[in-house]
Amino acid sequence: MKISRVEPMLFPWGSLYVRIWTDEGLYGLGECSPMGSRREILTCLEQLAPLLLGRDPRQRDPLLRGLLHRFLKLGDSGILPEALAGLDIALWDLLGKLSGQPLYVLLGGAYRTSFPLYASIGGGAGLTVAQMVERVESFRAQGFQAFKIRMDWGAHRRDADPEKDFAMFRACRQALGDAVPLSFDANNGYSVKTAIRQGRRMAELGLAHFEEPVAPYDYPGLRAVAEALDVPVSAGEHEYTAWRFRELIAEAQVPILQPDVVKCCGISEMRRIIALAEAHNLDLLPHQTQPQVGLAASLHLCATTPLAMPYHEYTGRQPRQEELFEEPLVPDANGVIHLPERPGLGLVLREEAVRRALAG
Ligand code: CA
């Protein structure tokens, strides 16, 4: 069996999928993170494609690890790991289709196959307190039972308006009541001192987890915040390889790791990261903003480890992506997603819908 074609698909709304076809007419489907540099990732995929043609798609690690190390001087963060993530997910999906098994079976079996989602609601920096409360209420009306508000600063800013952030958190907490899990994502926007102050007063109101309080490269700062607070601090969405997670674990000592499967070289590397988390007895709370392919890959991985925290990230439905699939991943009326039993990721593209969307 040979790889006959690598087909990147950049949709008008920014999603970047990639299909790997075999000479027997089967395909596997993957996705690359569209956050930031999708055109550069597309170019990288186009440059890697000829190196995959004619190769056996079942020899995934020698093939893709080989590419990672061959081109490592391009960098072990960002574009190359994100391109490889799409290819790796596609080869796992293909393996599932070849074997007729859902991915979680190939990955070792499921501790659970249902995942309550937390609504991950962004844009805090540009919203008023009332607007954020309105967004939270609208997700609650859809059935979601856990929440996170994100500040999303855009350009790098630090300690821009902590009083407003706290007022926003307090108003959301009041709207939801005390029992509903509510987390806060500072999107790297605080100094260590401000992060500790914010974390303490949010904790008094009930804070499920405190995400990325300080700059992603400030491991000593993360450690200082994590040590000062009783609430768990999380980080990891800006790390792309297991060896970077090793450094994060050793130096930042945060109790929750947040790898993103469409960024960190894919399912194979995320398994290595989960193994590290397990060896250090840490919790897993993946970062994931892509509601179909990326989410499916992330949930199959979470199914196979007891480290995965109860709620998985979900940024909301995207009807244009749902239309691409025969049976898209959609949460039920209680904000829970049930993993499909179909082979691989469990997602089957509607060819006509894909053609239409790519042409649009
Ligand atoms: Ca985040």
Q: With 80 as the cut, is the pLDDT of residue 34 above it?
A: yes
The tens digit of pLDDT for each residue in 261-277 reads 999 999 999 999 999 99
Which residue type, as a one-letter code, is found at position 263?
A: K
| CA 79 / ligand 1 centre spacing (Å) | 19
Look at residues 244, 261, 240 and name the one whose alpha carbon lies nearest to residue 312. Answer: 261
pLDDT for 256 equals 98
Look at residues 194, 206, 259, 258 and name the one whose alpha carbon lies nearest to residue 230. Answer: 206
pLDDT for 157 equals 82
289 to each of 31, 84, 86, 294, how far by Cα in Å? 12, 18, 15, 8
Q: How confident is the model at residue 129 (pLDDT cuts 50, 70, 90)?
A: very high
The stretch 19-44 carries a mean pLDDT of 95
The tens digit of pLDDT for each residue in 294-316 reads 999 999 999 999 999 999 999 99
| CA 212 / ligand 1 centre spacing (Å) | 7
| CA 307 / ligand 1 centre spacing (Å) | 19
The tens digit of pLDDT for each residue in 229-250 reads 999 999 999 999 999 999 999 9
Q: With 80 as the cut, is the pLDDT of residue 156 above it?
A: no
| CA 1 / ligand 1 centre spacing (Å) | 40
Q: Are 296 and 347 contacting, i.e. CB atoms less than 8 angstroms apart?
A: yes
Average confidence score pLDDT of the chain? 97
| CA 36 / ligand 1 centre spacing (Å) | 14
The stretch 18-28 carries a mean pLDDT of 98
Q: How confident is the model at residue 165 (pLDDT cuts 50, 70, 90)?
A: very high
Tokens 């209680």 sit on residue: 334
| CA 185 / ligand 1 centre spacing (Å) | 6
d(CA 325, CA 327): 5
| CA 210 / ligand 1 centre spacing (Å) | 10
| CA 235 / ligand 1 centre spacing (Å) | 8
| CA 272 / ligand 1 centre spacing (Å) | 21
- The percentage of residues in the chain with a pLDDT greater than 90, rounded to a whole number, is 97
| CA 199 / ligand 1 centre spacing (Å) | 16
pTM of the model: 0.97
The tens digit of pLDDT for each residue in 192-212 reads 999 999 999 999 999 999 999
| CA 53 / ligand 1 centre spacing (Å) | 36
| CA 146 / ligand 1 centre spacing (Å) | 15
| CA 287 / ligand 1 centre spacing (Å) | 7
pLDDT for 204 equals 98
| CA 286 / ligand 1 centre spacing (Å) | 9
Q: How confident is the model at residue 155 (pLDDT cuts 50, 70, 90)?
A: confident
Q: Are 180 and 173 contacting, i.e. CB atoms less than 8 angstroms apart?
A: no
CA dihedral 63, 270, 331, 319 (to 10 degrees): -50
Which residue type, as a one-letter code, is found at position 165?
A: D
